[in-house]
Amino acid sequence: MRPGAYVRVRRNRFIEEWLGRANELRRHRAEVSAQLRQAAQTGDPDRGAIMIGQTAGLIERVEPAADVVRQISGEAEAILRQRLPGLLA
C-alpha cells in the first residue's frame, strides 16, 4: 500500500491499526512494506492490505492456480494450432 494512494481495501487489523495515521505511515514506510510482504508470503489476511474493488462482486468461483494455468495453456495451444498454419503460409 502506497501512502497517499487511494484504493478500496478489506477492513482488517492492519487497516484498523493505520486508519487515520497517514503521516505516521509515511514515516514508517519501509517497516510497514516489510510487514505487508511478510503477510503476503504467509497468507495472513489480517495483517496485509487486501485490495478489493467494484469488480469483486463479479467473481463466480475461486480455482487453484494450477487449474487456471492449465486452462490458459490449453486455450493458447488450441489458438496456435488453428492459426499458425495460416500465418506460416
What does the pLDDT look like over 57-74, one tens digit per residue?
A: 778 889 999 999 999 999
pTM of the model: 0.51
- pLDDT greater at residue 4 or residue 13: 13
Q: Which of 31, 53, 36 is nearest to 1 (CA)?
A: 36
The three cell numbers locating residue 55:
469488480
Domain residue ranges of the chain, discontinuous segments joined by +:
8-88
Q: Give residue 68's pLDDT.
A: 95
Given a cut of 70, is residue 78 above it in pLDDT?
yes
Q: For residue range 10-61, list pLDDT tens digits in order.
A: 889 999 999 999 899 989 999 999 999 999 899 898 988 787 877 777 788 8
